[in-house]
Structure 1
Amino acid sequence: MQKEDQLSLFPAPEADRPPADMQRLYLIDAMALAYRAHYVFISRPLVNTKGQNTSATYGFTISLLKLIEDHGMDYMAVVFDAGGEEGTFREAIYEEYKAHREPPPEDLLANLPWIKEIVRALDIPVIEEPGVEADDVIGTLARKAETYGVDVLIVSPDKDFLQLLSPHISLYKPSRRGETFDLITIETFRETYGLEPPQFIDVLALMGDPSDNVPGVPGIGEKTAVQLIRQYGSVENLLAHANEVKGKRAREGLLNHREDALLSKRLVTIRTDVPLSIRWETFHRARPDLPRLLQLFQELEFDSLVRRIREGGLARITNGEAALAEALEEAAAPSFDFGPYEPLEVYDPEKADYRIVRNQQQLDELIAQLDGLERLAIDTETTSTEAMWASLVGIAFSWDKGQGYYVPTPLPDGTPTEVVVKRLAPILQRAQRKVGQNLKYDLVVLARHGVEVPPPYFDTMVAHYLIAPEEPHNLDVLARQYLRYQMVSIAELIGSGRDQKSMRDVSIEEVGPYACEDTDIALQLAEVLAAELDRLGLRHIAETMEFPLIEVLADMERTGVCIDRNVLREIGAQLEAELHKLEAKIFEIAGVTFKIGSPQQLADVLFNRLGLKPRGRTSTGKLSTRESVLQELATQHPLPGLVLDWRHLAKLKSTYVDGLESLVHPETGRIHTTFNQTVTATGRLSSSNPNLQNIPVRTEMGREIRRAFVPRPGWKLLSADYVQIELRILAALSGDEALRQAFLEGQDIHTATAARVFKVPPEKVTPEQRRRAKMVNYGIPYGISAWGLAQRLRCSTREAQQLIEEYQRAFPGVTRFLHRLIETARQQGYVETLLGRRRYVPNINARNRAERSMAERIAVNMPIQGTQADMIKLAMVHIYHRLQQERRQAKMLLQVHDELVFEVPPEEVEPVRRLVEEEMKQALPLEGVPIEVDIGVGDNWLDAH
């Protein structure tokens, strides 16, 4: 009988007293440690030869074994959230509790069964209790053990457990750095907060928790909450004296959100009375199942762990050499090794030569050292993550390992920022290679302060994006992965959340080492990543495309684009009217009025009133109404499709009509979107604040939004758009004769496809047939399934499958090419664009059908979409340099998918039109397939497009 079966998790009589040798009980918060383990390996996931991501299991196991070895844990339990459809008592109290939390990553969820099996093999009970959270089970067990004088150590990074601290209950919290755990006791808590542990419930209630959707009180962060509870003792007493609170934001928050504060207190209070029938002996880790443990490690291909057991490295865990020998006889050696565990280095002021420039003399000495260097790492410290809104706080430099200089602006001796920047400008304007992390940000900031920083560049973020496009590219992650170094976290300097400070408010003694470390680590990473680019054959893409593009994007971000606010308001009124019409239709079909934006109310209408079959649940057990569900239901009933249309218009209004006006820069009067070079795995650019890539062009109202984008007075907007470029790339790469011929003859590709698929002459193709052929054209090359095509066409799956089969027969060259891409991915583990940009496909051989199917779609999508991305990026670089060489006033403003938008003075319209068309066509020629560019000019983006 497994140990969790011996724990009767329902009301039962009091159990016997704990054994005499049970002096200490360890309670492990399983999900918190599993999440931590998953994200520790997020930059370099552990994927075994079966295609399974085992990161969370490996990290969790390493942490658990280390805890057992270091602390001799004889009595312990691992507590999981039970999950399930019924939810927890907190959702009964507050329906929106955790309503907006993202579900756990699929890879993490897939690891949970393995983690539980390993825990069981170690003879540790796995506890899961429906209706409550793991915190409540841990709280109940801790309080119960405390009554018998047992010391309890809760192992979790969750601060909520601080409310349970007592002379017998402590917290083991994973430290920020390395793999150690910090011990938090009631004494250290009192020293830190000046409160008693139960009062931390009140602190949590005031702070709220956005991740769990605990409302809290607006205007109150942790620091303010602690001060208020120190003064008033509890939330209830604080609310009774809310008028006395000095801070305006906190006072108004308390007066206007009294019920939220009281509700939040109920939500954050950990229950300690969950009815559990405890048999204390089940917590005794007495008889590990070593054959099962070794079997699991072999199945998961954790060779280093098997080797540690074989070499006696886990003798304490395995309880003796005899048991170990017996297990080894039953185990065969695996063949995969993740390598040894290595501790991380951290900043050591005794080793690192990091200096702060404090006066003009030291600045002159630094400039003399910088003069003539062939490469220089730079990093700016500022007051904002948005470059166009940031004020310069300082600049750091490094040119050798372990060394760095930080120049505050202004200098401590009073030298103003503009003087400091002017003195440094000649150094920054030289042609030596600039090294850094996310250099585009630094280029924009420095340009706004009067300094242009020319190429060549080596950007560590961009370099790693080429090497591993789907992994995180943060500097601290790269430092851990490649240098085994743990950087100082920015949160340690400026905090986080509501109480986050500006970098301007941090002393230069703290900022200096932090900034120098950034440049030092970037410099070290540049060498490692350059070698990796060479090894993978990616250096030419970096040097000819991605690194030169940094300068182009920086210039586009600084330039920005004009918005006509009157047009925005006019579009807003139109959208409001359309939304009212849709609402009326929805209510008429539903037979009841309801809040369309409420997932709960919509679910009630769809599944209870209309009787539609549910298609899944949320992470909290509620019936799902997400977009994919509504798309599927739209094939069966008109209401889900209308709701999708309503959501589309509501998002347009909130994001672009209501949102764009607030983004106009007060200095320039223009909107400055941020172009993200290292986000999409295919190589495409994305944009944010605002996201211009998501303005829909296939709907009338989406196109209307473009009418609000205008040039400066007297100028024109020029839009240049590749025509059906992805299908042309598919024709070139696949060599399909029918597809090539259609493009060579200048046929309408969707009509030509419809004629072949539906077996009718082109002149007989109906608009509906052309529409369906267009969906097939843009879906099949990306691995769309019959189910996915049926959703787009709102037809039956059978009909969609017939369309796919007809397409495959009509274009056999395409079919063979797509199969070839999948086979290549299976053999080498990645696919490539025409220029050699890579995307790895780790799940291409996965046993799980859903994972494998997704990987196959990636394998056929990336070479086509990635080649298009390479083509337009090369065009951008070439056009930018041509405009400079010809001394044109025209400016490149936007890049959206296959389109480039320029702001052009009237006298330059024709020469710039020719220049843009030439460079876009010549950027990346396709064998046997012509490239076409559609160019328009107008007084706004819609007219130009």
Structure 2
Amino acid sequence: MEKPEKTRERLYLIDGYALIYRAFFALISRPLVSSRGENTSAAFGVARFLIKIIDQHQPDYLGMVFDAGDSERVEMYPQYKATREKMPDELALSIPRIRQLVEAFRIPVLELQGYEADDVIGTLAGKAVDAGLEAVIVSGDKDFYQLIRPHVCLLNPGRGGPTAVEEEWVDERNAHERLGVAPKHVVDYLGLIGDSSDNVPGVSGIGPKTAIQLIEQYGSIEDIIAHTAEIKSKRAREALEAFADSARLSRRLVTIREDLAVDLDTEALRVREPDRVALKDLFLDLEFNTLAREFAAAHPTAPADAGDGAEAAPNRLAGDYRLLSTTEEVHALVAQAREAGRFAVDTETDSKDPMRATLCGISIGVVVGEAFYLPFRHRTRGPDQGELLGDATPDADAGVRNLPDLHSPEMQPLLDLLEDETIEKVGQNLKYDFLVFRREGIDLRGIAFDTMVASYILEPGRREHGMDSLALQHLDHRTITYEEVAGKGKAQIPFAEVELETACNYAAEDADITLRLADKFGPEMQALELDHLFRDVELPLVHVLAEMEYNGIRIDEPFFARMSEELRATQSQLEREIYAEAGEEFNIGSTPQLREILFGKLGLPVIKKTKTGASTDVDVLQALAAQGHRLPTLLMQYRQVDKLRGTYVDALPLMVNPETGRIHTSFNQTVAATGRLSSTDPNLQNIPIRTEMGAEIRRGFIPAEGNVFVSADYSQIELRILAHYSGDEAFVTAFRSGADIHRQTAALIFEVPVESVTKEMRDRAKTVNFGIIYGQGPFSLAQQLGISQAEAKAFIEAYFERFPGVRRYLDEQIELARTRGYVETLTGRRRYIPEIQSRNWNVRAFGERAATNAPIQGSSADLIKIAMIRIQNDIAAGMVPAKMLLQVHDELLFETPIGTEDAVREFVRERMEGAATLNVPLKVAGGVGSSWFETK
């Protein structure tokens, strides 16, 4: 029901803990966790809700009400709320944060020791009406329906997600709809049926339907009890005869008090402007970057005097941003940059995809507080139907004054500057700019600092490293957003059509902020001894990844068309088999329908439950399939085929760049806290190769005409790093002798000679070897091996008995993480592990697993990065004619002319095996083929 027109000023009273629980459990399946390991789900939900209440409802008065201590109801009935589960540790730890948020919003907290929030709200609502206000109770608790009367109403908050429910306004017009009784009889209704959430007993044998009938016929509980003998239903009559006192007690327990000694201080409750500075700082600390931007204080520091010198400049957030419109101005800027030996550069384009983007302009900053924008392809709209006038005209009458074409003689000094190796280039996400310039025929050289990469090295667990959030957190500066200059949604215009002065302020600010961040991050990395990792590994990798993305990879489009048809046929066949097994046709993609088939019609056992009913996720299907049920097996096959078609087979041909005829994935350098690279648009690292159908997809990746693929893959790299770190004698000896490590492990665990190790023994030993790296316990290992937990525990104990050095190393890493808060890789990359200090066992256990795994997985990532840098440097020097195309964790894929493959394979092997000197040798396996599949 819609909110009625306001006839009085409104006081909104928020049921604090109801809101907090709702916010926390709304994200229970995918909780928000900060880089420090703090669960921020409840804080995020509460913050968003308070913003919504203030913005959309515009209350005149507002208060947040909390329970405070045990209520008198516990004295009345000791079992009151006794069945409620203890508040989760993660939620309990969020309460102080939420109180900080409420304080920053300048919302008073209302609580009275020894009383529940319900009673405080009930009392204040009554006093609000007496004071001429309208009270709005913000809660989904059905108990509050008893308070609804003239000028007292209820706002039942909605919820988001797939089962979204709109918020509901409840007043006298619709109050009876939820429970079926009028507000004055809510306590009678609840007194009869009880309330399981609060452990209110009610009357055993009387349900909602009967309760409504009794109330309609007789009225209150006392009236119903007085007429017990007249009740026709034997069950209800006997129940009331036996439990009349329980009904009276229950009615008292659910009755909200309205007579507490709580004053209504309207002056304190009047809505005030939030403390935006405090909120912004809190949001940054909680890593709510979007909210932080919204609440960033608009208070730029006044410019420093010119004579203050360089020390004052970094604190000066007001910038001098200028638009260049003549070649003479460009030449002067080039001279200034050459004299300084360093400048920040940023490109403005019309696309987020650098391989499809058109360069609109370039921003350059040489000194902090000053930056320039150079427009090259801006345009204006005509007066009729938005017709475009020109693409790059310098005619002032057209509304745009672009500089001459980048490749014109007048711009040669600028091109020379961009390609000059001796002039340092500073940027934010320079890989993007490199690719944009590359497609313009410009080779950006002298990459000296990338603020996005630097932020990643300093805070590897941070959710994002975008300039907007970095500027807000580190410079206390709210940057201009793209939407602010180009608009949102359907109204958004291309950047090339943004008015030049507006474009200048936006673009030049980026260059200026980049310089400021570089000046801050550089010393911080040196202080933490992370400069080596930045200079020797991550920064050179920017150029390497850019080259790989530019190279792209070719696909066989007819192959994918054929495979799509084959998968479509397979899917249709599976669909028919599923219907036959179910005995009817249904929507296979509908969880409710599938749930009804599996657990209703077929009566299969429920393995796991969700809020909406029995789960049908992959773990459940696997468990049911293991019990011998055929339908779950068919469903898993159907889902696999559907995913392969949708994610890869049908999608990849659509991603072919029309200009190059190749697919250009994006390698993400600043995402995984371990240091590993990821791949997106498309994700070529996640092609499922362990299944026959998944592996078949790799057949569709082919080299250019006259070329072949060469692949190179580190052999058991993580186990070799574990051997190096642990120094375990048996482990090290096995690798140095070139023995099969899994066979050797099996021999030691099963106490048999190596030649007596069976395939099953080796497979189990392999599972244990990798399980140890990832910190698997008996439960997980038992599931993976299909054995009992007792057997799995015995395997693990035998493993550590045979490899004591491994046990010692793992314990040392956990202790290191506890004492100093982080662990390190071979290159000194840090992985901060705040989770290891958590009071929650599950969170702490995750931290312990991360402490043991991060140095191994991170070192593996470091080694292949080092190898990639060396290989690309040699390729650029002309040592081999190959192109590096893909990196998939421990594997590299190259394209090289037919006839050079043997030399390239040997060249790559040497570089990869020489990436580091460990206590055990690094080994690389590889292959050659006319498709990616054939290289294995």
TM-score between the two structures when normalised by the length of structure 1: 0.69
465, 479, 491: which one aligns with 1:487: 479
- Give 1:584 deviation, angstroms: 5.7
- Give 1:381 deviation, angstroms: 1.2
Give the aligned partner of residue 430 of structure 1: 420
Q: Which amino acid aligns with 1:425?
A: L
580, 597, 604: which one aligns with 1:611: 604
Q: Which amino acid aligns with 2:608?
A: R
Give the aligned partner of residue 811 of structure 1: 803
Distance 1:146 1:388 in 2: 64
917 and 771 in structure 1: CA distance in 2 versus 1, 3 angstrom threshold: same
Distance 1:111 1:630 in 2: 35
Task: Check the 8 A contact 2:33/2:39 in 1, yes or no.
Answer: no
Matches within 5 A, 1:408-423: 408-410=375-377, 412-419=400-407
Q: Deviations over 1:552-603 (max 9, x none)?
A: 1011111100001122223334433444555566556656554333332333
Q: Which secondary structure does the structure 1 equivalent of 2:836 belong to? A: coil
- Give 1:826 deviation, angstroms: 1.1
Question: Which segment is superposed worse, 342-351 or 574-583?
Answer: 342-351
837, 840, 852: which one aligns with 1:860: 852
Q: Which secondary structure does the structure 2 equivalent of 1:389 belong to? A: coil
- Give 1:520 deviation, angstroms: 1.0
Q: Which secondary structure does the structure 2 equivalent of 1:488 belong to? A: coil
Q: Which amino acid aligns with 1:357?
A: L
- 1:396 aligns to 2:363 (yes or no): yes
Task: Check the 8 A contact 2:64/2:110 in 1, yes or no.
Answer: no
- Give 1:900 deviation, angstroms: 0.5
Q: Which consecutive unaligned segments of at least 5 residues does structure 2 have?
A: 1-5, 68-87, 140-150, 153-157, 177-182, 185-254, 271-284, 287-291, 304-317, 378-393, 395-399
Task: Check the 8 A contact 1:352/1:402 in 2, yes or no.
Answer: yes
Matches within 5 A, 1:13-162: 23-26=9-12, 76-77=63-64, 111=94, 115=98, 122-123=110-111, 150=133
44 and 778 in structure 1: CA distance in 2 versus 1, 3 angstrom threshold: closer
Task: Check the 8 A contact 1:46/1:54 in 2, yes or no.
Answer: no
378 and 415 in structure 1: CA distance in 2 versus 1, 3 angstrom threshold: closer
Q: Which amino acid aligns with 1:477?
A: S
- Give 1:804 deviation, angstroms: 2.6
- Give 1:818 deviation, angstroms: 1.3
- 1:378 aligns to 2:371 (yes or no): no
- 1:544 aligns to 2:544 (yes or no): no
Give the aligned partner of residue 97 of structure 1: none
Task: Check the 8 A contact 2:700/2:931 in 1, yes or no.
Answer: yes
Matches within 5 A, 1:455-474: 455-471=446-462, 472-474=464-466
Distance 2:515 2:648 in 1: 40
Q: Which secondary structure does the structure 1 equivalent of 2:339 belong to? A: coil
Task: Check the 8 A contact 2:108/2:269 in 1, yes or no.
Answer: no
126 and 362 in structure 1: CA distance in 2 versus 1, 3 angstrom threshold: farther
Question: Which segment is superposed worse, 710-719 or 424-433?
Answer: 424-433
575 and 108 in structure 1: CA distance in 2 versus 1, 3 angstrom threshold: farther
891 and 606 in structure 1: CA distance in 2 versus 1, 3 angstrom threshold: same
Give the aligned partner of residue 719 of structure 1: 711
Q: Which secondary structure does the structure 2 equivalent of 1:372 belong to? A: helix
Task: Check the 8 A contact 1:34/1:108 in 2, yes or no.
Answer: no
Q: Which amino acid aligns with 1:764?
A: S
Task: Check the 8 A contact 2:63/2:109 in 1, yes or no.
Answer: no
Task: Check the 8 A contact 1:630/1:641 in 2, yes or no.
Answer: yes
74 and 583 in structure 1: CA distance in 2 versus 1, 3 angstrom threshold: closer
Task: Check the 8 A contact 2:668/2:678 in 1, yes or no.
Answer: yes
Distance 1:439 1:758 in 2: 53
- Give 1:59 deviation, angstroms: 11
- 1:569 aligns to 2:561 (yes or no): yes
Distance 2:805 2:577 in 1: 46
Give the aligned partner of residue 837 of structure 1: 829
873, 882, 891: which one aligns with 2:874: 882
Distance 2:174 2:731 in 1: 67
Give the aligned partner of residue 164 of structure 1: none
- Give 1:844 deviation, angstroms: 0.3
Q: Which secondary structure does the structure 2 equivalent of 1:692 belong to? A: coil
Matches within 5 A, 1:302-317: none
Question: Which segment is superposed worse, 731-740 or 710-719?
Answer: 731-740
Distance 1:269 1:607 in 2: 33
Instruction: Give the CA RMSD over aligned residues.
Output: 4.6
355 and 801 in structure 1: CA distance in 2 versus 1, 3 angstrom threshold: same
Distance 1:772 1:375 in 2: 57
Q: Give the % identical residues.
A: 42
Task: Check the 8 A contact 2:734/2:744 in 1, yes or no.
Answer: yes
435, 440, 443: which one aligns with 1:452: 443
- 1:746 aligns to 2:732 (yes or no): no
Question: Which segment is superposed worse, 807-816 or 372-381?
Answer: 807-816
72 and 697 in structure 1: CA distance in 2 versus 1, 3 angstrom threshold: closer
656, 660, 679: which one aligns with 2:671: 679
Distance 1:592 1:362 in 2: 76
347 and 44 in structure 1: CA distance in 2 versus 1, 3 angstrom threshold: farther
Q: Which consecutive unaligned segments of at least 5 residues does structure 1 have?
A: 1-17, 81-104, 129-136, 157-167, 170-203, 215-265, 289-314, 319-336
675 and 628 in structure 1: CA distance in 2 versus 1, 3 angstrom threshold: same
- Give 1:683 deviation, angstroms: 0.3
Task: Check the 8 A contact 1:122/1:285 in 2, yes or no.
Answer: no
Give the aligned partner of residue 362 of structure 1: 329
Q: Which secondary structure does the structure 1 equivalent of 2:587 belong to? A: coil
Q: Which amino acid aligns with 1:782?
A: Y
Distance 2:609 2:97 in 1: 24
- 1:932 aligns to 2:899 (yes or no): no
Give the aligned partner of residue 513 of structure 1: 505
Give the aligned partner of residue 210 of structure 2: none
27 and 377 in structure 1: CA distance in 2 versus 1, 3 angstrom threshold: farther
Q: Which secondary structure does the structure 2 equivalent of 1:558 belong to? A: helix
Task: Check the 8 A contact 1:635/1:796 in 2, yes or no.
Answer: no
Q: Which amino acid aligns with 1:617?
A: T
Select the structure of larger CA radius of gyration: 2
Distance 1:475 1:73 in 2: 37
Matches within 5 A, 1:267-346: 275=175, 286=262, 344=297
Task: Check the 8 A contact 1:27/1:77 in 2, yes or no.
Answer: yes
Q: Which amino acid aligns with 1:450?
A: G
Task: Check the 8 A contact 2:331/2:414 in 1, yes or no.
Answer: no
- Give 1:903 deviation, angstroms: 0.7
767 and 595 in structure 1: CA distance in 2 versus 1, 3 angstrom threshold: farther
727, 737, 754: which one aligns with 1:762: 754
Q: Which has the higher contact order (CA 8 A, sep 6+)?
A: 1
719 and 531 in structure 1: CA distance in 2 versus 1, 3 angstrom threshold: same
- Give 1:718 deviation, angstroms: 0.6
368 and 547 in structure 1: CA distance in 2 versus 1, 3 angstrom threshold: same
Give the aligned partner of residue 236 of structure 2: none
Distance 2:632 2:96 in 1: 35
Q: Which amino acid aligns with 2:918?
A: L
- Give 1:904 deviation, angstroms: 0.5
Task: Check the 8 A contact 2:65/2:109 in 1, yes or no.
Answer: no
Q: Which amino acid aligns with 2:842?
A: A
Give the aligned partner of residue 838 of structure 2: 846
Give the aligned partner of residue 297 of structure 1: none
Distance 1:147 1:492 in 2: 46
- Give 1:489 deviation, angstroms: 2.1
Q: Deviations over 1:616-641 (max 9, x none)?
A: 415xx444333445455555455545
760 and 510 in structure 1: CA distance in 2 versus 1, 3 angstrom threshold: same
Distance 2:261 2:702 in 1: 71
Q: Deviations over 1:180-216 (max 9, x none)?
A: xxxxxxxxxxxxxxxxxxxxxxxx9xxxx996688xx
Distance 1:404 1:713 in 2: 46
Q: Deviations over 1:779-829 (max 9, x none)?
A: 221111333223333444444333333323332221221122111111111
- Give 1:52 deviation, angstroms: 5.4
